[in-house]
Every structure is written in C-alpha cells, then in structure tokens.
Structure 1
Amino acid sequence: MEFKDVEVKLKKKNKILFTRESACLQELLKEIRLQKHRTLVLWIFRICKDAESYVKRRNKEDTRVETARELCWKWAQGKCKMQSAKKALLAVHAIAKETRDPVLEAYCHALGQGYASVHVETHAIGFVMYELSAFVRMYGIDKKRLEDRIQYYHQELKRCEKDIENYKEWASFLLDDTRENKEMCLYVRKHK
C-alpha cells in the first residue's frame, strides 16, 4: 500500500492525515460505495471499539462517548430522534477541542464521524480517516500496522454485509434500500 500522501500531510502538520483521495483507502471506498446504509452503520459500531477504549482510558469520568454511542444506536433503531443524537455527537467532537492530546483528538473526531454514519453513509469513511490519523500519531507511519488495520476494516465490512439480515430492528430510513448510497453519489458527482 502507498502512504506517500500521508507522509506529506504529516510533514505539513495536518491534523487529518487521510482523505478520500488517499491511495491506501481506494479499495475500501469501492466497497463502502456498494453497501446498504444499515450495513455501514453496523460496521462502524463494530470497528469503533478500539477508539472508544482509548477515549475511555484517557477520560475515565467522561460519559459523552458512551452517551453518543447509545443515542446513535437508538437513532439507528428508530427509538430516538436525530436531534438527541446530534447533541451527543457534538459533545464527542467537543472532547477533541478540549484536549491537547493529538491521539485523543483524532479518536474523538473518528467517533463523532463514525456515529454520524447513521445520518449519512459519507460519514463512515470519516471514522477511518480520523482513526488512521490517530494510529499515525501514536506509532508513526508504521506501514504494517496501517495495512493490518485497513485489512481489518475490509474483513469487518464483509462480515457485516453477511450479518446484516440478523439485525431486524432498524429505523425506517435505514430499511429503505431504494435510497442511493451517498458515498457512491459523491463519487459519481466528483468523477463526471
């Protein structure tokens, strides 16, 4: 995998080191564009455990991440409205603004983006971009570690694609498979 664009962003001291144009994310983005919205939501809720654990270890008394996770999952199930979840998401992003720890900052933004995938598919890759940025902040550009994590994303996405039918409780907007995948719409618009 290629990480030259990440190296450039790191040298420029960018906070987010990965983008939709990052060479290492192209295959994953292809897969994301083909998924049902609820598959991506399930995927995010499965792959965000490491980020949640890191934030919890650093902010033991802070419950904003747990609250956001709970409310966004309820939103995905149709058990609460977007407004409640949105407030909780903004609170998670606020943690990032309150810290000087670049890893905690990246993980909080990752979680805020990831949980927001309930709203629209385009937020799912945001989780990946911020989480991988956190990895680079912790370990440097460790190609093996980054490749392994990206492979993990692929594997979990495939599992979720197979498991999605085992989850019956979804909000009606997530059950509407006639809606176009917004990540695919974004790609088509950019490549006309």
Structure 2
Amino acid sequence: MWIFDCLQIPLDEIKTAYPNESESQAAFMLSDLWARGEVKMPVAKRAILDCHAVAKSIDNDYFIALYHAVGQGCATVHVETHALGLVFYELTAIVIKNNYQNYQYEVTKKIQYYMNRLLWWQENIEVFEHQRSWANFLVKPNKPNKEALLYVKDTHAKGKL
C-alpha cells in the first residue's frame, strides 16, 4: 500500500507536464490490478516496461528520473526491493530539479515523507487491507523474502556470516 501511496506525487507531476501521456498511469493501474490478482504479470510487466520506455524517448532528465521512479515503484508488486527504485529515482529527480546544487533540504524532506508514510501505513494497514482483494502470491503466510535469502546465501558463501 505504501508504494501505491507514494507513487501519487510523481504520477501527478508527470500528468501535469505530459497530459496526453498514458503509459505511467497505465503502469500504475495495471500494477494495482496485478496486486489484486485481476490481471496476470505479463500484462502489468508490459505496461511497466512501456513506462520505462517513455523515459528513453524524452529529453528532460527530471522527468526521465520520474518515469523510472514510477516504473520501479510499480514493479514492487513483483519484487519488494524495487520500492527502493522509486526512492532512488525520485531523489535523483529532486537533485536534478535543483540543478545539482542546494538539494539537501528537499532530499531530506522527501526521505522524511517516505518514512512518515511508511510509519502511517504500518499503523493503519489493518483498516485498509480488508477493503481490497490481494493476489494469492502476495498473501501467502510465511512467504520467505527471496532477496533476503539470496543475500544470506551470498554473504555466507563469501565467509562473512
């Protein structure tokens, strides 16, 4: 839920700057439907890749970063650590918007926003989680985090554990 909440700001900025563009909104909508189990992964994946493709077709570094932020955020349905892509690309957009100077305040403010929203969702998720359907692959109890398991395996293989 946190990721869909945080995607609203970059989506709104894109819609304001590119009112006739539909790829970012389609990626968001189809990813939400994917999370609900109403569409299959290939449909949402195609929309996410189309969103990333828009970034390659425009000549504005700020919006290139925002398109990638949206694409990565939408891909969180598939791999939870893609949420970091939203954060990194959106923070990159802030740095670009500030011409690579005096961006620290805006970046810090955005990080605080992410943390506040995450804490809010942590405290309020029960209110919303029963109001929507979830795809079976997202609600399996005790489902291991594959990336965490891979990290432990790699760290162990390198003799760091």
TM-score (norm 1): 0.73
* CA offsets 1:126-173 (integer angstroms, 9 cap, x no match): 110000000000013421111111111111111112222222311111
- Find the aligned partners of 2:15 and 2:48 in 1 and give their Cα distance: 16
**Structure number, greater radius of gyration:** 2
Q: Does 2:47 match 1:92?
A: no
CA distance in 1, matches of 2:147, 2:120: 20
Alpha-carbon distance in structure 2 between the residues aligned to 1:74 and 1:126:
20
Structure 1 runs of 4+ with >6 Å offset: none
Identity %: 38
Q: Distance in 2 between matches of 1:182 and 1:135?
A: 31
The offset of 1:187, in angstroms, is 4.6
TM-score, L = length of structure 2: 0.87
- State how 1:101-112 maps to structure 2 within 5 Å: 101-112=60-71
Instruction: Give 1:8's aligned residue.
Output: none
Q: How far did 1:183 drift?
A: 4.9
Aligned to 2:94: 135
Partner secondary structure for residue 158 of structure 1 = helix
Q: What is the rounded CA distance, in whole Å, between the counterparts of 1:79 and 1:115 in structure 2? A: 15
Q: Are the structure 2 counterparts of residues 96 and 186 from structure 1 closer, same or farther at C-alpha, using a change threshold of 3 Å?
A: farther
Matched, 1:167 2:129: yes
Give the match for residue 69 of structure 1.
28
Aligned residue for 2:15? 56
Match of 1:188 in 2: 152
Tell me which of 120, 128, 139 is aligned to 2:79. 120
Alignment length (residue pairs): 151
Q: With CA pairs under 8 Å and 6+ residues apart, which has the higher RCO, 1 or 2?
A: 1
1:79 to 2:79 alignment:
no
Report if aligned partners of 1:67, 1:88 keep a CA contact under 8 Å in 2.
yes
Q: What's the CA shift for 1:56?
A: 0.9
